[in-house]
Structure 1
């Protein structure tokens, strides 16, 4: 009886084992990037950039590395069904790296189009998401970039540099559902580079500010650095500043940036103090100052501190005053430090945000002044020591 039972169990194991639901690579279409746009009539457009595993040759021997498919509809489910019918292989989203949102769609609102990404388990939440300034997302997917075989790879490299806003789907969803902080997205723009080959220059162009899932404005590059510094996400930045009385200008590279925010609540009056600290090196000295002298390097540090304070103040004023949304995370600070007061302030926080008093202190340390004290082309008697 036992040998017969063993044989039966062995047959059952052989029948039920194995990857019954596997998908062969040859049956999959790997999506490297996606885009969302809005038509003039109000329909959504979703586009996929699909990698070509074995690149086919075009005329003249040039090899294509990808192609783009698009479809429109009233919601994402309808569009995805149309897109699948345009592909002979099963669409596979797990390799997607970037999602581009056209500016028209961003201003209209991204809540509905992004809902599909929060429910489909095959979607990667570490996918970058960006707004295309003054254009459509599918334009980026269709463009060619000189340095990389696929433009998506260029975006990943540019985002990793650390001085611009790099936001993933996960980051956007967390900010959207958290108290006291609003979501943002990185911004990219396309510049025509080579018309005949459809090659383009791509550039990171600041930060898109969202309120109620709609884009309400864009910060420029310097304001973006201020936002990132306040949110403790700045890895490095370059700063330039003018010396007093038109005596030239200086430039520094900051490689360490820290921040500390303290809060004070008195009734409905809220005061915040932002202390910014940075350390870096002087990389440009277009003045007659001999920056090896202590008093001169202190002067340089002071003008650089003033420059930092200015662009941080610009970011704060624009976000809390003009856009009236808390992309800076001030509400999180109040919530963390004054939980009882936050319960009272929370329902009307965005309306009270313009009245929040913000004081900014900046302390920089320039530890290196380069190989020369003043410009090498200056004569000895022209150098200020």
Structure 2
């Protein structure tokens, strides 16, 4: 091939590449967009009230005004989310941009009515990235929670996102559920969904003003509280703190948390830092009916000790471990039993285990699994191992008896 032909081919190739490197056809400049970071859905008689937490770009510079909020909450009412969002553009000088949503909040009424319909739009819209967390506003409207002025971050939705993420890692009674996880559960058999609740404490009305962050002690605070039990896409009710912890233990959603128990052979309590937790479900048949054996293994370090015990004595450590074993087994058993009796829906995923192990039987059980779950026996076996005692060994006020 001659040099001339090679140059001709290279020129043609470069000309072709110019068409492929022409840029993004749907490119939008930031000064043309209103970036939405939080979305709230409140149920009305004839539709929804949709609230959008939008970043105020003028407040993102170092010279931001302390008297002006970094976000603006826009609300609009309509029979559908899609219509409400389009109507909200009448209150915004820029196009609403949904790709950076961090938190989606439903009020209790919307959650009890069903969340599939509002989720349909969010999963269908090409702008929305399905990586945001979902929570249910308990005792408050989603609009009120979105309007709350948070103490640590200037962008409230970002603080709610981070707080839920951190609390799930460090505190078992909360669970950070993303929309993709939720929709996966909705399509599976033998398990029902849960969502964490969020509420406001203190003077909630003043918490929606800048006064909430002008002194060291906030006038109002937000708090993630309990786990909401769903049947299909509808909220049935709430688990208390202990039962929420039990759910996290059973479903292997505990990364680290704090466990407490009464002291053996003395007054007071002690606390441990649980550093590892794993649970294994073993389905089996008992007189032809489903039953579960749950094996839970935990590693922990002593975090606080109010027991009058000499921890240098190995027998005392064994007593602490045995006490923790009984406490944990009772907490998990009580949590499972309360869900069976109060709600009668399998939020633990026991049905999935039977589906895997007994696929033929499952075909006859799947339509009435909730009824079988209500009366299913669950045996809990726990194994607690204490590894470290911290910098000190025995309690500060422990006085060892003098040796004879």
Scaled by the length of structure 1, the TM-score of the pair is 0.90
User: Deviation per CA, 1:226-275, whole angstroms, max 9, x where unpaired?
Assistant: 11121112111111111245522111010100111111135751110000
Cα distance in 2, alignment partners of residues 231 and 12 from structure 1: 51
Query: Is 1:160 matched with 2:170?
Result: no
Query: Is 1:75 matched with 2:80?
Result: yes
- Structure 2 equivalent of residue 308 of structure 1: 328
Q: 1:56–1:64: 8 Å Cα contact kept in structure 2? A: no
Identify unmatched segments of 5+ residues in structure 1. none
Q: 1:265–1:338: 8 Å Cα contact kept in structure 2? A: no
Give 3-state SS (helix, strand or coil) of 2:386's partner: strand
Give 3-state SS (helix, strand or coil) of 2:58's partner: coil
Q: 1:324–1:350: 8 Å Cα contact kept in structure 2? A: yes
Correspondence for 2:199 among 160, 167, 189? 189
User: Deviation per CA, 1:182-230, whole angstroms, max 9, x where unpaired?
Assistant: 1111111111268362453111112111113111111122222211121
Q: 2:266–2:308: 8 Å Cα contact kept in structure 1? A: no
Give 3-state SS (helix, strand or coil) of 2:163's partner: helix
- Structure 1 equivalent of residue 33 of structure 2: 28
Shift of 1:151: 1.8
Shift of 1:156: 2.1
- Structure 2 equivalent of residue 94 of structure 1: 99
- Structure 1 equivalent of residue 361 of structure 2: 341
Q: 1:289–1:373: 8 Å Cα contact kept in structure 2? A: no
Correspondence for 2:247 among 216, 227, 231? 227
- Structure 2 equivalent of residue 275 of structure 1: 295
- Structure 2 equivalent of residue 352 of structure 1: 372
Give 3-state SS (helix, strand or coil) of 2:291's partner: strand
Instruction: Classify 1:113/1:60 alpha carbon distance in 2 versus 1 (closer, same or farther; 3 Å).
Output: closer
- Structure 2 equivalent of residue 320 of structure 1: 340
Correspondence for 2:387 among 351, 360, 367? 367
- Structure 2 equivalent of residue 144 of structure 1: 149
Cα distance in 1, alignment partners of residues 304 and 133 from structure 2: 34
Shift of 1:11: 11
- Structure 1 equivalent of residue 397 of structure 2: 377
Q: 2:310–2:398: 8 Å Cα contact kept in structure 1? A: no
Shift of 1:154: 2.0
Correspondence for 1:251 among 258, 271, 275? 271
Give 3-state SS (helix, strand or coil) of 2:54's partner: strand
- Structure 2 equivalent of residue 176 of structure 1: 186
Cα distance in 2, alignment partners of residues 274 and 338 from structure 1: 17
Q: 1:208–1:215: 8 Å Cα contact kept in structure 2? A: yes
Scaled by the length of structure 2, the TM-score of the pair is 0.86
Q: 1:187–1:206: 8 Å Cα contact kept in structure 2? A: yes
Paired residues, what number? 378
Instruction: Classify 1:171/1:19 alpha carbon distance in 2 versus 1 (closer, same or farther; 3 Å).
Output: closer
Instruction: Classify 1:26/1:246 alpha carbon distance in 2 versus 1 (closer, same or farther; 3 Å).
Output: same
Cα distance in 2, alignment partners of residues 168 and 13 from structure 1: 40
Cα distance in 2, alignment partners of residues 11 and 300 from structure 1: 74
Shift of 1:110: 1.4
Instruction: Classify 1:367/1:12 alpha carbon distance in 2 versus 1 (closer, same or farther; 3 Å).
Output: closer
Q: 2:190–2:352: 8 Å Cα contact kept in structure 1? A: yes
- Structure 1 equivalent of residue 57 of structure 2: 53
Give 3-state SS (helix, strand or coil) of 1:298's partner: helix
Cα distance in 1, alignment partners of residues 132 and 20 from structure 2: 39
Give 3-state SS (helix, strand or coil) of 1:292's partner: coil
Cα distance in 2, alignment partners of residues 378 and 12 from structure 1: 79
